[in-house]
């Protein structure tokens, strides 16, 4: 019928794929023997050193975004890590999902700083180029980026790209970590990389290992570091493993699975 309300034709009684009841979810069901194979993970950061032993050369693609006199530029040549942080995140993700396909989206420079425009452009590239997971270590407190980043987060949500964002280490709002469409992560003191908690009082929804973590770093080295930006890739790695076993899960389904598997949720 031509007079149906908008979107009415999208719904039909056709049965969708079943997901277990929440009390039936287990880690075996969630990721079992999955290695994250077939899952594209963008590390939006300072670059990735593919030669680091923790990365093992497993970088599927590169884009470096800069914003200068000629405007936004995208360079798709192989690059390294300007600081070490992107390699740290990549190493954590690889330790949990060893066969996922990493993509280095370089938006930060040698001082681990960058412009909001390059960050937004890097995120846009990742969403538009079919990434399954985006690991985002940075954010902005500038309100003039709120709407634009919110729009990108919504586009990711509707394209089934899971955005895993580190909460600000300092109190106060930062974007995109406070959007409901992303998975926002802060640190806890545990030492088990698979141990994570659900926060019943969002906007920060999950806590993962992020305090005194041994991570890959620049010049093929390692350091011990603390920060929410090291907690986020633990969740990104777990998400990649889950998607390796259950491709096509939507972001809201992924949140449901993570909540059910959190260490502080009751077990039956």
Question: Tell me: the pLDDT tens digits for 228-267?
Answer: 999 999 999 999 999 999 999 999 999 999 999 999 988 7
What secondary structure does DSSP assign to 57-101, as a single string? T-EEEEEEEEEETTEEEEE-S----SSSHHHHHHHHHHHHSTTSE
Can you tell me the distance from the alpha carbon of 249 to that of 251, in angstroms, rounded to the nearest whole number? 7
118-177 confidence digits (pLDDT tens): 999 999 999 999 999 999 998 888 999 999 999 999 999 999 999 999 999 888 889 999
User: CB neighbours (10 Å) of residue 117?
Assistant: 16
pLDDT at 8 over 60: no
Q: What domains can you pick out in the chain, each with its CATH number?
A: 35-261 (3.40.50.200)
CA distance 248 to 16: 12
Cβ 206 vs Cβ 262: under 8 Å:
yes
Q: Where are the beta strands (DSSP E) in 110-153?
A: 133-136
DSSP assignment, residue 229?
H
Q: How confident is the model at residue 4 (pLDDT cuts 50, 70, 90)?
A: low
Residues 17-50 as b/e (b if ≥16 CB within 10 A, e otherwise) read eeeeeeeebeeebbbeebbbeebbbbbbbbbbbb
Torsion angle, alpha carbons of 155, 130, 236, 220, to 10: -130
pLDDT at 20 exceeding the cut of 80: no
139-156 confidence digits (pLDDT tens):
888 999 999 999 999 999
């Amino acid at each position: 019928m031509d007079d149906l309300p908008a979107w009415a034709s999208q719904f039909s009684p056709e049965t969708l794929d079943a997901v277990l009841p929440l009390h039936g979810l287990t880690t075996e069901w969630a990721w079992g023997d999955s290695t994250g194979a077939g899952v594209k993970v963008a590390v939006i950061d300072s670059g990735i050193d593919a030669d680091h032993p923790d990365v093992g050369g497993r970088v599927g693609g590169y884009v470096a975004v800069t914003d200068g006199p000629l405007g936004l530029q995208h360079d798709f040549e192989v690059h390294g890590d300007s600081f070490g942080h992107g390699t740290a995140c990549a190493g954590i993700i690889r330790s949990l999902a060893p066969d996922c396909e990493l993509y280095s989206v370089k938006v930060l420079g040698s001082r681990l700083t960058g412009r909001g425009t390059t960050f937004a452009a890097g995120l846009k590239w990742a969403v538009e180029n079919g990434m399954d997971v985006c690991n985002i270590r940075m954010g902005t407190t500038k309100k003039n980026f709120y709407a634009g980043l919110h729009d990108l987060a919504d586009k990711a949500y509707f394209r089934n790209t899971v955005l895993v964002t580190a909460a600000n280490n300092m109190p106060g709002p930062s974007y995109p970590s406070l959007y409901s469409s992303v998975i926002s992560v802060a640190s806890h003191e545990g030492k088990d990389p698979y141990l994570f908690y659900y926060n019943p009082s969002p906007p920060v929804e999950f806590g993962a290992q992020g305090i005194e973590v041994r991570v890959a770093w620049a010049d093929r080295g390692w350091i011990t570091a603390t920060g929410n930006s090291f907690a986020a890739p633990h969740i990104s790695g777990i998400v990649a493993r889950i998607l390796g076993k259950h491709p096509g899960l939507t972001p809201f389904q992924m949140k449901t699975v993570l909540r059910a598997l959190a260490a502080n949720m009751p077990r039956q």
